[in-house]
Structures are given as structure tokens and as C-alpha cells.
Amino acid sequence: MERLVGSFYSWNERGYALIFVTPRQRYFMHISDFPSDHIPVVGEKVSFNVAPPRKPGQLPCAVNVHPIEPTPIETSSTEVA
């Protein structure tokens, strides 16, 4: 099953969120589809699988959602004489 990459766009107090791949390609998710040892933040990149909408007329669902590890930033060292 193909995995997509998107970003958290918004959360509500009941644990529901939107993930945007593009402004027109949006997916619905619930916090229960995210690893319990991680607290997601708006703007965070994630990968996920797509599932059908829960009800007719709703957005498709993001399931099996996982954070994408940030790429380490290389720092250049400068020596002070």
C-alpha cells in the first residue's frame, strides 16, 4: 500500500486533525491513529496510508500515521584563534 507524506494542518480538542498533502488533497485523522509516545504539532511532517471516508461526503482518512524524522542539520565548525 502506497504511503503519502503530508503536514498536520489543524487539531481540535477532541483529537481530530487534518493532514494536508496539497491544499486540495486533505485527509482526516484521529489522534488514535498516531503513535502514543509522540505528541504531534501543527506543521509536522508525517507519512500515512489512505483509507476510505468514515461517512459518505467526508474526507478520506489517514491511517497508520507516523512522524517523519527530521533530517539532522549539518553545522560548520569555525576555529577561534
pLDDT per residue over 53-63, tens digit each? 999 999 999 99
**Residue 52 belongs to a domain with what CATH number?**
2.40.50.140
The answer to whether residue 62 sits within a structural domain is yes
The candidate with the shortest Cα–Cα distance to 65, out of 38, 47, 42, is 47
Number of domains the chain is built from? 1
Q: What is the pTM of this model?
A: 0.77
Domain carrying residue 12: 4-67
Question: Tell me, what's the pLDDT at 69?
Answer: 72
Torsional class of 35: left (φ above 0), alpha (ψ -120 to 50), beta (otherwise): beta
DSSP readout, 3-14? -EEEEEEEE-TT
Residue 72 forms part of a structural domain: no
User: Which DSSP string do the residues of 46-77 spell out, in sequence order?
Assistant: EEEEEE--SSTTSPPEEEEEEEPPPPPPP---
Question: In a 3-state reduction of DSSP, which class is residue 44?
Answer: coil
**Regarding predicted confidence, which is higher, 30 or 79?**
30
